[in-house]
Chains A and B, each alone.
Chain A
Amino acid sequence: MKRIISRQEAYLLLILITFAAFLTFMNPKFLTLENIFDMLRNNTFLGVVALGELVVLISGGIDVSFTAIATVAQYIMGVIISSYYLNSVLAAFLIPIPIGIALGAINAALIYYTRLHPVIITISNLNVFYGLLIFFTHGKWIYNFPPAFRNFAGIRVFTLVNDRGVPYGLSIFTLMWILLALLTWFILRYLTIGRKIYAVGGNIESARRVGFDIFRVQLFVYCYMGALAGIASFIQAELSQMIQPNAIVGHELDVLAAAILGGASIFGGSGSALGAVLGVLLIAIIKNGLILMKISAYWQQVFVGIVIAIAAGITAYQYQLRRKRSRRDAKG
């Protein structure tokens, strides 16, 4: 607890720096503020949902339906703001959040009630949410947004100018990501519910016997995931300035990979917000690096798969070590 940065996060940071140094050596363009700001902005969606997935993983669950939740929330927002021509970013921002929370609550209720593995429930709901959305909307795109919505995407926290005279800077969305990471860190570390999430993920039976309301914890984590999916879907719509129902679904694994890389144990009970952010950055750098090295996009999937396997292998190995050690301690 005293350590500010855990061992896994330190390793991750080290790998991150090594990769960055290697890429800079290969292509000096990599380590420019402009490229870094761009990369941060382009990965905001991934970064925000990874925070939600992290919280779910810590509680011992898993959610693969968040892409469908984000798509539904984003689509409803798009329909409302484009058909009523709602010229308010705040309204656009606030619409997807309750939708995400409601869909997350459906996940939580089904998982708690059926006691079925969350992956089966959320795969089903991924199909249900997404299938129904496409059925009712026929997958039509939305792109005529009001000016306030369009202008918001260009806002920068601060602006610099590169040598060609083109302005660049830290995007407002990156700031949102940072704030949400801080919020997640605060919830996990300082709120009672945060400590309960770790307890339920560590050992659900002990948590039950201590008297925790398991349903309330599960409701919180899946709704939090839903809310973040809603916010992320707003950001994604802002960045691309159009809503394609098939743009988000299919990115589940990148997010899982990032959260697991960041040290969220698939066995539940461990993980941190900083880890999730570093995990997303590592995935982003790997992908950016593959592009800079001109490796076919098809191989990116292979890399992400290998990265998940390695990261999961490391956490599983540590888990086994810890179990062996605690068994030995119990005997001695």
Chain B
Amino acid sequence: MLKDKNYQSVILGSTLIFLVILMTILTGGKLLQVDSLQAIAFQIPLLGVLTLAQMTPMLTGGIDLSIISTANLSGILAAMVLIHIPSVYGTLLAIMVGVATAMAVGILNGILIAFLYITPIIATLATMILIKGVALAITKGYIISGFPDSFSFISNGEILGIPMPFIIFIAFALFLSVILSKTTFGISVYMIGSNPTATAFSGLNNKKILFNVYLLSGFLAGIASLIMISRFNAAQAAYGESYLLLTVLACVLGGINPAGGFGKVSGLLVAVVVLQTVSIGFNLLRLSSHLTDALWGIILLVIVVINRAITGKWIGN
């Protein structure tokens, strides 16, 4: 068992190193220049926080397909507040509205999954389309833009020379890491992922745990929405849809078992950094966005196939 897990870390680690080396060679070394490294650091937080939002559901063996549309809807509502109240109070209110909206979607997902027993995939698929529909109906497909300076601090501000989005990302990564490893809730998340029946029989309230998992996922999607709208300085119903596959890819690459039960925030951080590096590499190579999407899919499939071939098992039996 331990052996398998070691193998897995080796495979994932070497895949990640291989990808970075490959991209460095393909871009003729441009990837490691200051400009590119800055671009990587600038873009990591958005993918990072979205991946954090994806992580907890995947630890329970579920998935949250609605994180991107949730982030878009809460971004839109926050943007509307910002436009109408362009002051510091407006900014604070916008942040609260954005996070509250995302948590409301999290609650909806939680109810559907924990109390109505709908499979996470279908439940979050339904909320994904529903939320996107609401976002489209509100904006009619238009972009909302033009935020006050007090809000752009989230994307452009610095503390001690460290970009603000990066600080937010690290803060929430630590926050999630502590929750998962140090609290009863965190331990029970891993337990549900390994064996839900045993968890229920050991006296834990599965429904409550699952509900909180999706609430947490919604909350983190709300944080991601704030980073997203301040980075684009605009909000729209269909931003960042290709991030969905990327978050799943980052989780799988980061050693999170899609069947649930295993995975740490630290692995996820490494995966996010590497994926963002590769993504900047794709940009430097001027690959079309469709080819990029295809390549992400291929990378994910190749990794799961190699993993299966070497360890003989990936999940379950």
> Secondary structure of the B side of the interface?
helix
Q: Which residues of B contact A128 (CB under 8 A)?
A: 294, 297-298, 301
Bound-complex Cα distance A245 to B159 (A) = 47
Is B130 a contact partner of A266 (Cβ separation < 8 A)? no
Known: A115-B314, A127-B294. A317 touches B305 (CB 8 A): no
Is B248 a contact partner of A127 (Cβ separation < 8 A)? no
Bound-complex Cα distance A309 to B66 (A) = 13
- Which of B116-124, B144-152, B213-221, B272-280 lies at the interface with chain A? B116-124
Q: Which residues of B contact A132 (CB under 8 A)?
A: 290-291, 294
Kindly supply a per-residue 1/0 record for chain A positions 300-322, scoring 1 wherever the CB is within 8 Å of any chain B CB and 0 otherwise. 11111110110011001101100
Kindly supply a per-residue 1/0 record for chain A positions 205-220, scoring 1 wherever the CB is within 8 Å of any chain B CB and 0 otherwise. 0000000000000000
Is B130 a contact partner of A316 (Cβ separation < 8 A)? no
Is A306 a contact partner of B130 (Cβ separation < 8 A)? yes
Kindly supply a per-residue 1/0 record for chain A positions 116-127, scoring 1 wherever the CB is within 8 Å of any chain B CB and 0 otherwise. 110111011111
Is A120 a contact partner of B292 (Cβ separation < 8 A)? no
Bound-complex Cα distance A303 to B130 (A) = 7
Q: Residue among B122, B140, B292 with the most chain A CB within 10 A?
A: B122
Bin the interface of chain A by size.
35 or more
Q: Tell yes or no: A222 within 8 A of B by CB.
A: no
Bound-complex Cα distance A114 to B295 (A) = 19
Known: A114-B304, A115-B317, A320-B117. A305 touches B294 (CB 8 A): no
Q: Min CB distance, B140 to chain A, in Å?
A: 7
Known: A116-B304, A127-B245, A302-B134. A317 touches B116 (CB 8 A): yes
Is B121 a contact partner of A134 (Cβ separation < 8 A)? no
Is A134 a contact partner of B305 (Cβ separation < 8 A)? no
Is A309 a contact partner of B132 (Cβ separation < 8 A)? no
Is B258 a contact partner of A116 (Cβ separation < 8 A)? yes
Q: Which residues of A contact B129 (CB under 8 A)?
A: 253, 301, 304-305, 308
Q: Which residues of B contact A303 (CB under 8 A)?
A: 133
Q: Say which residue of B122, B134, B292, B305 sits within 8 Å of A110 (CB atoms).
A: B305
Q: Tell yes or no: A93 within 8 A of B by CB.
A: no
Is B301 a contact partner of A124 (Cβ separation < 8 A)? yes
Q: Tell yes or no: B228 within 8 A of A by CB.
A: no
Q: Which residues of A contact B244 (CB under 8 A)?
A: 123
Bound-complex Cα distance A312 to B136 (A) = 24
Bound-complex Cα distance A323 to B116 (A) = 14
Is A119 a contact partner of B121 (Cβ separation < 8 A)? yes
Identify which of residues 283-315 in chain A touch chain B, using a CB-to-CB cut-off of 8 Å. Answer: 296, 298-306, 308-309, 312-313
Q: Tell yes or no: B5 within 8 A of A by CB.
A: no
Q: Tell yes or no: B308 within 8 A of A by CB.
A: yes
Known: A131-B294, A301-B136. A121 touches B301 (CB 8 A): yes
Q: Which residues of B contact A308 (CB under 8 A)?
A: 122, 125-126, 129
Is A256 a contact partner of B297 (Cβ separation < 8 A)? no
Q: A123-B248, A316-B118, A317-B117 provided; 5 other pairs, C-beta below 8 A?
A: A110-B301, A115-B316, A266-B118, A305-B126, A312-B119
Residues of B within 8 A of A (CB): 63, 112, 116-119, 121-123, 125-134, 136-137, 140-141, 244-245, 248, 252, 258-259, 288, 290-298, 300-301, 304-305, 307-308, 313-317
Q: What are 19 contact pairs spanning A and B, CB under 8 A?
A: A110-B305, A113-B305, A114-B301, A115-B308, A115-B315, A115-B317, A116-B304, A119-B121, A123-B244, A128-B298, A256-B122, A298-B140, A299-B137, A303-B133, A308-B122, A308-B129, A313-B112, A316-B118, A317-B117
